Structure 1
Amino acid sequence: MDAENFVASRPFSMDKDRERALFDPFPFSSTCFDAAVDDDWDLLCPPARSRLCKTARPKKGTCSNGCQATSPKMCAAAKPSKYESLVGLRGYMYHVARDQHGCRFLQQRLDDGKREVDFIFTGVARHAVDLMVNPFGNYLMQKLLAVCSEEQRMGIVLTLTKDPFVLVRISLNVHGTRAVQKLIESLRAREEIQLVVAALRPGFLELIKDPNGNHVVQKCLQSFGADDNKRCIARSTGEHKEKLVAAIARNGFELAQDAYGNYVVQYVIELKVATANASLAQQFEGKYIHLSMQKFSSNVVEKCLKVFKEADKTNIILELLSAPQFERLLLHPYANYVVYAALQNSKGSLHSALTNAIRPHVELLRTSPYCKRIYSRALLKK
């Protein structure tokens, strides 16, 4: 099965009705809702609907403004965002969270203390999946993840990971990607991280290729340790692992320069998958000098010099030797490690060519704080 069919066979996309429901805005203006809350409406709608609709009966008077639901106050006269009581929103928190002004009100109340956090959490936690992909609700979820307790955060994680591919679908969404990144950033407990990694693993290939999902992958690389990221690959098996390794290799040049992505590329190199390493060698060719002079990618070049086939190692060293100002590599805080790795992993005439290129700069090496390891190489003192 090719990569495209593999991805197409996975249920990442939502059906249109479901997607429409997720983004259907709160069906009532914020001003009308404010008036309803302030005037203590007797709401007859069942909690499952939680809408201020025609079945809502005002306890006093009617609105002369022609609203779908009636209020004792004229909606035009109501002040926007006049939410004053969380208690008055009990049972309607989910809809308030999807309203622009209501969401802003709830975010502000999260700063008031633990009691308010607990109250809002109780009202929205079970709707985490829908809110994370909502244009307004995703901001509330981000704020909630930043202030909730560890136990509450675990509750949200369990909600998001209990069904297959749910977290992947959220990550692919333009609003959901932000909320998932905040979730990843907030994780602390080992169990939380394992649940999230396990939930994202089946869609890792699609996430890498998607502009929204790619940000989630990058956040994993930044927030999780190298071991967690390696484990995501190590626990994959069969065809899925092959496609995952191939996807990482295809993005190797970009990942090699990332603070955490470089560890994943190094891990893939160590697997010694011929096609993956050939792909990386092709991408890096002509760019080894550039990669050697960067903090993160220099580690990848060192790994290439240790693991790649002899022909590829030779190409790396010859490219380094072709540098217009070879001494710049010797004196560079990162590239000097690459030169040292080249010395350690070369032999014969290639090693001789390398040492001959270094010897004219011995005086510089002797005084440079970065080059003592190269100068002290016994081979250079022969």
Structure 2
Amino acid sequence: MEDMSNFLSPSAAMEEQLRALQLQHLQNNQVSQQGYFIHQPPYNTPVQRNLHQQYGFINNAPTMDEINSAMGGLCVNYSIGDGYGRLPGYEDYRMRERAFVEARTALRMCRHRRSIVSLAMDPHECDYLQMMIEEGSPTHVEVILSGVKDYLHLLMTHPFGNNLIRKIFEARRGITWEQVNYIINLIISNDRKLRRVCMDKHGTQVMQIMLENIICPITKYKVVNTMKRITVPLMKNVNGNHVIVQCVKLFPPELQSIILNEVARNCVDIATNKTGTKVIQKCLREGDIIATALLVTEIISSAMVLAEDPYGNYVLQVAIKLKFPSANERIIKELGGKFVRLSMNKYASNVVEDLLRVSNQNDVQVIVEEIMRSHNFLNVLQDSFGNYVVQRALQYIQGRLRKELSNLINSYHKELHSHHHGKNVLTMAKTYIEGEKVQCLRDC
């Protein structure tokens, strides 16, 4: 693809050529001093008056071929005619006037290419630039892209400039996918600047729009490999995390896995972060089962650390509820021998309850028997968190073990009947002994 810096390079000579064309047309046609055709009204718009003052009589504007010749082919060739190779009088005037204005606009933009960045930072001028992109004139689009290409990261984080970059990705006319790819490659070419953009409130929104409009598979691959290098800090950032989630949502499994494997390698660091824990949960829900396999494996291997962490326990709960094949069985093995301790922990007790709720009967039995056989069983019954774990065990265990558990709880009647937490477990156990099923109090 050609370097977009080699765009138009107009000079003051072009303006002189345009002026000469106007005056020549005036002399050839011997128009009146009022400067208008006999059957046309005089110039009466600001544009016409302005052009009359600077370049002579706009009503006898040069022809399309003459303007194109003077401007090096900048103007659009309007090919509307009357069937005899020319435009009818008034339409001819209007179309040539419009071509002349377009030529002037393109010339002004080219001359002040460096000021396009300044225009993009002004709310009204930025709207004007967006309108020009929306209209789809290739000349204007190329000039705008040439003007902003070296300032993309700056504009993406600017309150108004970010709207222009968003429009570049959203435009459906005048911008080719090759040009879009060129802009994307410039954005991802600098990791430090890209990281700053992704962590900015405006920048992260532009990045999400950019990701939605990537068509080329090679460009997607380049973006993912760049994002991989800054995944960890973005996962823990309140703005940047949205870019990572967007990659997981939009890209195919083979590209998802590049990012999710990086998350897996830093699983504990991210999962125990206030923002990171929410992002991992989103990735687990949005990601393909194959792409998230390594991440789930790392979560399981770190189950004990995550279970007791104020933030990490939520990640472990999501992994449990997803019911990956044999995942819960492996988590129970990882936590084996520590269920009494976990049941009396503010955060880990929720993990134990989820395991009791969604695991199969064989796995539930492993947890319940470990708690029942412990010499600290009474402490669990009287604990502010442990009593809910035992209630959940009564609710989900079946058959002989439920009856055995209920009788064991009832044997501590003296210690439980007047205890603030223990009496709730005792009440539930008695209802199962009497054949009535009640709801766990935490569900109420």
TM-score (norm 1): 0.53
Matched, 1:177 2:229: no
Aligned equivalent of 1:328, options 359, 374, 379 = 379
Unaligned runs of 5+ in 1: 1-45, 50-83
1:222 Cα shift?
0.5
Q: Is the 8 A contact 1:177 1:212 kept in 2?
A: no
Alignment-derived partner of residue 412 in structure 2: 360
Matched, 1:206 2:255: no
Q: What do you get for the CA RMSD once the two structures are aligned?
A: 4.9
Q: What pairs up with 1:135-214 in 2 under 5 angstroms?
A: 136-143=193-200, 146-147=201-202, 152-158=206-212, 163=217, 164-166=220-222, 168-173=224-229, 175-179=230-234, 182=237, 185-186=241-242, 194-195=249-250, 201-203=256-258, 206-211=261-266
Q: Is the 8 A contact 1:170 1:177 kept in 2?
A: no
1:168 Cα shift?
4.3
Letter in 2 for 1:379: Y
Q: Is the 8 A contact 2:116 2:148 kept in 1?
A: no
Q: Is the 8 A contact 2:339 2:367 kept in 1?
A: yes
Q: Label 1:281 to 1:191 Cα distance change in 2 as closer, same or farther (>3 A).
A: closer
Q: Label 1:166 to 1:335 Cα distance change in 2 as closer, same or farther (>3 A).
A: farther
Q: Label 1:117 to 1:208 Cα distance change in 2 as closer, same or farther (>3 A).
A: closer
Name the SS of the counterpart of 1:260 in structure 2.
Answer: helix
Q: Label 1:176 to 1:186 Cα distance change in 2 as closer, same or farther (>3 A).
A: closer
Between the aligned partners of 1:213 and 1:291, the Cα distance in structure 2 is: 18
Alignment-derived partner of residue 56 in structure 1: none
Q: Is the 8 A contact 1:207 1:217 kept in 2?
A: no
Alignment-derived partner of residue 189 in structure 2: 130
1:186 Cα shift?
4.1
Q: Is the 8 A contact 2:197 2:204 kept in 1?
A: no
1:339 Cα shift?
0.8
Between the aligned partners of 1:223 and 1:321, the Cα distance in structure 2 is: 37
% identical equivalent positions: 16
Alignment-derived partner of residue 372 in structure 1: 424
Alignment-derived partner of residue 283 in structure 1: 334
Letter in 2 for 1:172: K
Letter in 1 for 2:352: V
Matched, 1:348 2:393: no
Matched, 1:263 2:320: no
1:343-373 deviation per Cα after TM superposition (whole angstroms, max 9, x unaligned): 2315436742564245425664655268636
Greater RCO (CA < 8 Å, at least 6 residues apart): 1
Alignment-derived partner of residue 87 in structure 1: 118
Between the aligned partners of 1:148 and 1:208, the Cα distance in structure 2 is: 22
Unaligned runs of 5+ in 2: 7-114, 121-143, 169-181, 436-444
Q: Label 1:376 to 1:216 Cα distance change in 2 as closer, same or farther (>3 A).
A: closer
1:329 Cα shift?
2.2
1:140-199 deviation per Cα after TM superposition (whole angstroms, max 9, x unaligned): 3311xx13595x3542333679645445433431x4532465456447xx9887326968
Q: Which stretches of structure 1, 4 residues or more, deviate above 6 A after TM superposition?
A: 120-125, 190-193
Between the aligned partners of 2:223 and 2:359, the Cα distance in structure 1 is: 36
Aligned equivalent of 1:215, options 264, 270, 273 = 270
1:341 Cα shift?
2.1
Q: What pairs up with 1:53-92 in 2 under 5 angstroms?
A: 86-87=117-118
Letter in 2 for 1:262: L
Number of equivalenced pairs: 278
Alignment-derived partner of residue 301 in structure 1: 352
Alignment-derived partner of residue 28 in structure 1: none
Q: Which structure: larger Rg?
A: 2
Name the SS of the counterpart of 2:337 in structure 1.
Answer: coil
